[in-house]
Structure 1
Amino acid sequence: MSIAVTTDAIAPAKEKPAAPHLDYRPDVDGLRAIAVLPVVIFHAFPALIPGGFVGVDIFFVISGYLITGILLRALNKQQFSLLGFYGRRIKRIFPALITMMITVFLFGWLVLLPDEFEQLGKHIAAGAAFVLNLSLFIDTNLYFGAIEAPLVHLWSLGVEEQFYLVWPLLLWATWRLGRWQVALLGAITVVSFYLNVSAVHEEPLQSFYLPTARLWELSLGGLLAFATQNKAAHGGHESLPSWIPHKGLFGDNARANLGAVLLIGSFAFLHNKMEFPGWWALAPVIGSVLLISAGPGSFISRRVLSQRWMVFVGLISYPLYLWHWPLLSLAHTIDWRDYTPALRVGVVALSFVLAWLTYRYIERPLRGSPKTLKVASGLFATMAVCAVGGWLTYKTQIPARPIPADVAKILAAENEDFPYPKEPGFLNVGTGAKKVLFIGDSTLAQYHWRVDKVLKEHPGNSRGAIFAWRPGCAPHDEITRVAHAKCRQLLVDAIAMAKTAPIESVVIGFSWYSYLTGNRDSDHVGEVRPLLPVADPALENVRRMVEGFAASGKKVYIMQNAPLNPGFAPRQMVQRTIFAPGFRVNSEPASKQHLLTAYEPFLVRLRQIAKDNNATLIDPLGGLCPEGVCPSITKNDEPIYRDAFHLRKFYILESVSYIDPVVLDTGHDSMPGGR
């Protein structure tokens, strides 16, 4: 039922003048192009535009500005209809979204493994209900790099639709407040920004996904609409109020130029390892506000944003955003080995084609239909069917494509528990009076199984072990992504423990390659990459640790990286095809020489640290890569790795003998590898 607002229902004591009609602004469509193109490029080629993801924040500002303008004009004319508003929103949003989701569902059945297909069903259900942002907040701690989830990008639609549900009612309910309405909305914007900034460090998912922490981006666009909606038009567009300066440093061109600088700077200098949104989001958000406020008369609006090709991209920006990520995701899923730059260029080109076809033959006809409520009702019913179908898929009522037995055997490996201890901190192994202290992350802690086995097999051995570890803990705060304060405290406590008499030896081990090259992407581990700038202070921290331990008379070992290769992860061994049987195993090994080349930039530094302090390097490659190759499966076709970074428990128990001499009484002079 329509909520029709009558004159008596909304008229304040002093009636507000009707706002002038907001003429179509091609520069706003051009700004949409500025928003969507960096997102597409970032998803296909992250290194080209490190901050391309802020295009979503630009979209939020545009949406807030345009939707608020529509609502204010309706309220001013006393023609506000909630049902009519939502009907138009449904015609705008649902057609392309339904088309994309149905296509992805059908193609996903062909190429996705059963658990991936279930996840797709869950994301379709959540996406159709516009709550995927809430689902991701609850279920996952990743967005960037979630290439295996073809609908993860619909989180932003969830934020926008939740805004559309609340904002019209808020404007209507506060309409009688007059000028105090703007003050109230401004206060809400400030509170939302505070929630965003306060959560971005300790609760980054809350800051990224929740509508309460994102509202300020949309509401700033809305406040801009308030600033323009009651001022007489000049120069072909609604102007800012007279109390806002319009000349010199505050003129249209100056604002547009500053806005462009902020956007370009955001694309170039922000990156996905920053705490975002937070304070950093002010740059793209304020930049967008400034560009819109400058109006279509500024030089940038006329000469750049209003270019025909920019306007065209802006018009198809919504279906382009919808199509590009699922295509990239599915192309990668089919076979990550063939996910080449040329393929990604082709996928992006296909995204443009599908976006135009969707816009031209699906979106425009339905959006332009005068039968708003009838069309909206049909689209709403279809979206409901999508939601139910997704939920049934998630609950396995709609079965996935069957997988062959050999593929099922490979995939079973990743359903095992991770090999590191269940709780981070300090873990005692063995009863020997002399202790070996292991300090590092989960890639070192995984060896506790082998140490425990060896010590039990040698009950007369005089040594025991203590593992001081935390997942993702690196030797420098700038590297540690989550809970770096806890990591720092762990290292402080471990160093203090090492000074005590029972600690005879210390083993230091981290995922050196991942931390020092910045490559934590399981699809590309083992590639030859240069060290990050943070590698210098990180390795200096390691040097100080080793020097301190050696000076106090401790025997020091440095554990090098185990072999890393994207093809070691069980799921990555599965190649997909639309033809029968659909899935096959590709267990290609890694080249030992290639890994040595990839590791050399930090190995040479670790060797020098070891040499300077009479420490010993432990070389896993020497034991895990016989005959120059590092296998991914055993002779019995069992995967060696639980994921791209961790070995499986059975393999640790049976095969990582290079750790044994560290904890056995006879081991000091018989280490594998070398100094």
Structure 2
Amino acid sequence: MANIGYRRDIDGLRALAVVPVVLNHAGIPGFPGGFIGVDIFFVISGYLITGILAREIERDTFSIVHFYERRARRILPALGAVIAACFLAGWFFLLPDEMTTLGKNAIAAIAFVSNVAFWWTANDYFAESVALQPLLHTWSLSVEEQFYLFFPILLWFLAKFSRSVLLVSIAVLCALSFAASIWATEHAPTANFYLIFFRIWELGFGSLLALGSANLPHGRAAREIGSALGIALIVGSIVTLDEFSDFPGLSALPACLGSTLLIWAGSTEKAGQPFFNRLLALKPLVGIGLISYSLYLWHWPVLVAARIFEQSVTIPLDVALLCISLSVLLAWLSWRFVEQPFRGGPDRPQLSRKQIFGWSAASMGALSAVGAAMIVTGGIPARLGNEAGARYAANVARAPIEVDCINRSPDEDPCILGGGSPDYVLWGDSHAGSLIPALQSYVTSRGQSAVVFTKAACAPLLGVLRLDQEGNVNCDVHNRGVLERIKTDYSDATVIMLGRWALLAEGERYIGEEGVHPVIARADGLEVALEAYPKVVKAGLSGAVDALAGNGNSVIVVKGIPELGFGAPGVLARHEWLGWDLPVLTSEAMQERQGRARALIDNVASESGVSVIDPADYLCGRVCAYARGKEALYRDDDHLSRSGADWLLPQLLRDAEAGDSKFPGEVLDTL
């Protein structure tokens, strides 16, 4: 094993890791794969920590207590400072549900299980946007610390055997992890990203290098080639990968291999270091590398704050550059006045082990208690005032009947609203699901009934799959099951069909909205080219409508709910609470987004002779309304709220029969 002393080029490599991460997260063009910086950090960590542990084991000075003392000095002070700052800022700017989520995420980060928490909530279709969660980035810290829960003991145990047994054992563990990551890119992508087992191989690259570098070539030419190739692999990953890449898996291999090559190439005397390692050792890069941990910690909460102020997950370039500058300043202050005092040095006394463990327990315990208080109180809604807090909670709430009815399989007992033989069938995705409570009130008041078949992400189309949805979400199987159920049991009912048509026709989420873009395939699994999305959606809708009409059902196709690009309850609450300006969605912007989807629905209706009703006729004049008084018509940026659906649905159904509609007013007139 090579003797690992301080290496300036590794600090430079840290800079090469953290800068693309920050630029990517800030939305700076040219860094679509900047997220691979985290993978570089994993390799560096595996190399340095394994080297230290192996030397201590060889010298019989290894102590697990001492190891965790070092980790506490390195990790906890800056992490605690960032969490405390998020709590403080959150008091003034975060809404109750956001504050509750922050409390949960803080406790998860302190317990180093935030990767598990984010994986778990990512499977919730209606979970809060991760782009607005200030501690999202702590998932990577959790991965590292989970690795170091077992790896030091494993290394100590394996060191009792020969060096070859040690290397082969770790190599096998890495190979299993890598193989699992490749498999999971298709079958469990969210778990692949967040969970430790799928990331072990990345830390293992560094560990294997630290343990086996003595057996590698040491010639100058080999190191120069390895260094150049390492830079090329990292830079290539940064500019070629993007949010659509299957990751980590094979897509992460070049960056991890490149990092390993750079670390290996530089493990020689300073005078003999390769050209690119000498570049990495330049003062500016080393300086950024020294503050890289704090920069990583601070940049994400700063960007989240900017998104909240901009009331959009997309921030302008000038704001992004300001956020980066502020992050660097906070990182330097954190490194100088938080990290360094706890780590000690030649010019400052080091805290004792008892002091560092005592401080860690007290500070992390206090922060956890504050986080728990946020959870118990529901995000301290009194900060908004009693009326505003209650109104916000009502605006974002989903009715129990909606939660109960959505995502039922057509093979299960159906969700029946009202009593008697169903007069209506509601068929669609989560946009249709948001109508369930209003439909229940409507049919009950008229002595009628309805049956519900709604599934998140599955618009009522035949022959269309959503490949972007994780898990067992086969929309075509579901929709064909719904169609057969309607044919068999509900041939006399009027079928109301609603989906998020614009999302599917355009193949991308609306501006200001966070999340993966839809990926459409035909029923046979063949992925569809983006330019063909409108044609495929039209064919899928025509197939469903024609089948229903042929069955004798009356059909009402509801054009899409206008998408806002911002969360209506949030902007209304902050307008009332903080006096912030209200954003506006113009009718022109709505038409630009939904034009193709609206046209294809008109085409289907004219060909099939079915009825069409348009929510925009009721919501959009010069601008599109998202509030009536202080009540939000939406519960987020694209789903109707309970009060919005209660107000809109009776008009849609009444005017579907009368063939008339009337716009009730503009957003600026109702606030």
The bucket for the TM-score relative to the shorter chain is 0.7 to 0.9
Change (3 A) 1:372 1:515: farther
Using the TM superposition, name which of 156-165 and 188-197 deviates more. 188-197
TM-score (norm 1): 0.81
Query: In the alignment, what sits opposite 1:107?
Result: 89
CA distance, structure 2, for counterparts of residue 671 and residue 533 of structure 1: 37
SS class of match (1:538): helix
CA distance, structure 1, for counterparts of residue 569 and residue 533 of structure 2: 31
Change (3 A) 1:480 1:607: farther
Contact 1:131 1:155 in 2 (8 A): yes
2:319 equivalent to 1:325:
no
CA distance, structure 2, for counterparts of residue 421 and residue 122 of structure 1: 22
Change (3 A) 1:495 1:330: same
Query: In the alignment, what sits opposite 1:40?
Result: 22
Change (3 A) 1:105 1:453: closer
Query: In the alignment, what sits opposite 2:659?
Result: 670
SS class of match (2:285): helix
Q: Which amino acid is 1:628 matched to?
A: R
Query: How big is the shift at 1:600?
Result: 2.0
CA distance, structure 2, for counterparts of residue 465 and residue 406 of structure 1: 34
- Which structure 1 residue ranges, 5 or more long, are not aligned? 1-18, 232-239
Using the TM superposition, name which of 420-429 and 316-325 deviates more. 420-429
CA distance, structure 2, for counterparts of residue 254 and residue 607 of structure 1: 61
- Offset from partner CA, 1:533-581 (integer Å, 9 cap, x none): 85544333333234435655546554222122144531232338xxxx9
Matches within 5 A, 1:12-23: 19-23=1-5
CA distance, structure 1, for counterparts of residue 51 and residue 422 of structure 2: 74
Query: In the alignment, what sits opposite 1:84?
Result: 66
Match of 2:500 among 498, 511, 516: 511
- Which structure 2 residue ranges, 5 or more long, are not aligned? 521-526, 663-671
Query: How big is the shift at 1:289?
Result: 2.2
* RMSD of aligned alpha carbons: 3.8
- Offset from partner CA, 1:415-435 (integer Å, 9 cap, x none): 522574524134455778797
2:329 equivalent to 1:353:
yes
SS class of match (2:453): strand
Query: In the alignment, what sits opposite 1:634?
Result: 628
Q: Aligned pairs, how many?
A: 624
Query: In the alignment, what sits opposite 1:4?
Result: none
SS class of match (1:590): coil
Query: How big is the shift at 1:185?
Result: 1.2
Change (3 A) 1:573 1:638: closer
Change (3 A) 1:443 1:22: same
Query: How big is the shift at 1:45?
Result: 0.8
Change (3 A) 1:301 1:76: farther
Query: In the alignment, what sits opposite 2:391?
Result: 410
Contact 2:188 2:470 in 1 (8 A): no
Q: Which amino acid is 1:309 matched to?
A: P
2:471 equivalent to 1:489:
no
Query: In the alignment, what sits opposite 1:572?
Result: 571
Match of 2:248 among 253, 263, 277: 277
Query: In the alignment, what sits opposite 1:342?
Result: 318
Contact 2:587 2:623 in 1 (8 A): yes
Identity value in percent: 30
Query: How big is the shift at 1:118?
Result: 4.0
Matches within 5 A, 1:122-133: 122-133=104-115
Change (3 A) 1:569 1:218: same
Query: How big is the shift at 1:175?
Result: 0.7
Query: In the alignment, what sits opposite 1:539?
Result: 534
Q: Which amino acid is 2:625 matched to?
A: P
2:37 equivalent to 1:55:
yes
CA distance, structure 1, for counterparts of residue 545 and residue 53 of structure 2: 71
Contact 2:344 2:350 in 1 (8 A): no
Query: In the alignment, what sits opposite 2:666?
Result: none
Using the TM superposition, name which of 444-453 and 494-503 deviates more. 494-503
2:173 equivalent to 1:188:
yes
CA distance, structure 2, for counterparts of residue 295 and residue 52 of structure 1: 23
Contact 1:567 1:632 in 2 (8 A): no
CA distance, structure 1, for counterparts of residue 394 and residue 128 of structure 2: 25
CA distance, structure 1, for counterparts of residue 512 and residue 579 of structure 2: 18
2:575 equivalent to 1:590:
no
Change (3 A) 1:364 1:588: closer
Match of 1:217 among 202, 206, 212: 202
- Offset from partner CA, 1:36-66 (integer Å, 9 cap, x none): 1111112211764332222111111110011
Q: Which amino acid is 1:166 matched to?
A: F
Contact 1:54 1:284 in 2 (8 A): yes
CA distance, structure 2, for counterparts of residue 65 and residue 494 of structure 1: 54
Matches within 5 A, 1:209-608: 209-228=194-213, 230-231=214-215, 240=216, 251-295=222-266, 301-302=276-277, 304-334=279-309, 336=311, 339-369=315-345, 374-396=351-373, 400=380, 402-414=383-395, 416-418=397-399, 420=402, 422=404, 423-424=406-407, 425-426=409-410, 427=414, 438-456=426-444, 466-474=451-459, 476-478=464-466, 480-483=468-471, 485-496=473-484, 502=491, 507-517=496-506, 519-520=508-509, 523-524=512-513, 534-549=529-544, 553-554=549-550, 557-575=556-574, 583-584=578-579, 590-608=585-603
CA distance, structure 1, for counterparts of residue 444 and residue 390 of structure 2: 31
Query: How big is the shift at 1:514?
Result: 3.2
Change (3 A) 1:161 1:595: same
Match of 1:660 among 644, 649, 653: 653
CA distance, structure 2, for counterparts of residue 352 and residue 479 of structure 1: 39
Using the TM superposition, name which of 76-85 and 310-319 deviates more. 76-85
